[in-house]
């Protein structure tokens, strides 16, 4: 019957149109999400890095615990207002003020005349032998300006080091490492990379750190370290040159 055929034809057309709409919606979301990923990798910054910077730039003074989230083979590096990040006595052995690793201060606009923090993706190192410090660099470096000065020297205090001499992960550490010109936290760099910051190897997505902020001589300084205190004026007075 002509009327029945028309009804069947209309139903078939409606089903076909509905199917096309569903396919178009699915394709839209696939393309949209893919575009977001491409945009983030080319122009943006991972949200975890934005959150990290936001925490460092908050106004409140004092100290608190914070989480550092990182992708594999990546790191966050903080730089004081001038100079490079350097790690001294970061190997196992007797304290000797030996420079074991360094990361040259980037030329990014965010780091000009200011403390800054950078996300280092795909960490690369150049080991020139025991007489020369390991040189750290990145395949991709993204930096942000900090509102406060990074304390110029951070000692990894004995409370933290003793924890690792009492049977916890990383047992056997007997070092008195300290950082000059910033801080360095990494994830999944492999064995032998403790020399970069003097800390036990980290493979976890997130790690715990302590953030300390103090008003010193009228300026707010921040220190990031494994255990408080991060800012130790007795070991490095600000007027020390």
pLDDT of residue 162: 61
Q: Name the 3-class secondary structure at 149.
A: strand
Per-residue pLDDT tens for 14-34?
A: 556 666 667 666 655 544 443
pTM of the model: 0.76
pLDDT of residue 202: 85
d(CA 7, CA 3): 6
Given a contact cutoff of 8 angstroms between Cβ atoms, the answer to whether 157 and 186 are in contact is no
Mean pLDDT of 208-214: 94
Per-residue pLDDT tens for 154-183?
A: 998 765 666 665 544 444 555 578 999 999
Helices (H) and strands (E) in the chain, counts: 3, 12
Per-residue pLDDT tens for 88-108?
A: 988 755 567 889 999 999 999
Is residue 196 scored above 60 in pLDDT? Answer: yes
pLDDT of residue 120: 97
């Amino acid at each position: 019957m002509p009327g029945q055929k028309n009804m069947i034809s209309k139903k078939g057309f409606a089903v076909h149109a509905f199917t096309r709409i569903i396919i178009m919606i699915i394709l839209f979301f696939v393309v949209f999400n893919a575009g977001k990923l491409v945009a983030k990798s080319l122009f943006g910054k991972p949200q975890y890095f934005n959150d990290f910077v936001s925490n460092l730039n908050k106004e409140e003074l004092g100290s608190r615990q914070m989480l550092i989230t990182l992708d594999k083979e990546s790191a966050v590096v903080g730089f004081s207002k001038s100079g490079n990040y350097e790690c001294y006595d970061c190997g196992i052995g007797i304290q000797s003020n030996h420079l074991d690793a360094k990361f040259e201060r980037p030329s990014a606009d965010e780091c000009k005349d200011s403390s800054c923090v950078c996300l280092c993706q795909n960490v690369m190192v150049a080991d020139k032998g025991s007489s020369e410090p390991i040189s750290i660099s990145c395949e991709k470096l993204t930096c942000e300006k900090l509102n406060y000065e990074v304390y110029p020297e951070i000692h990894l205090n004995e409370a933290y080091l003793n924890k690792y001499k009492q049977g916890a992960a990383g047992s056997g550490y007997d070092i008195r490492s300290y950082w000059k010109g910033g801080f360095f936290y990494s994830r999944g760099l492999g064995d032998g990379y403790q020399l970069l910051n003097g800390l036990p190897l980290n493979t976890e997505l997130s790690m715990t750190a302590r953030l300390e902020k103090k008003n010193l001589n009228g300026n707010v300084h921040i220190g990031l370290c494994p255990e408080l205190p991060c800012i130790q004026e007795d070991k490095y007075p600000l007027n020390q040159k």
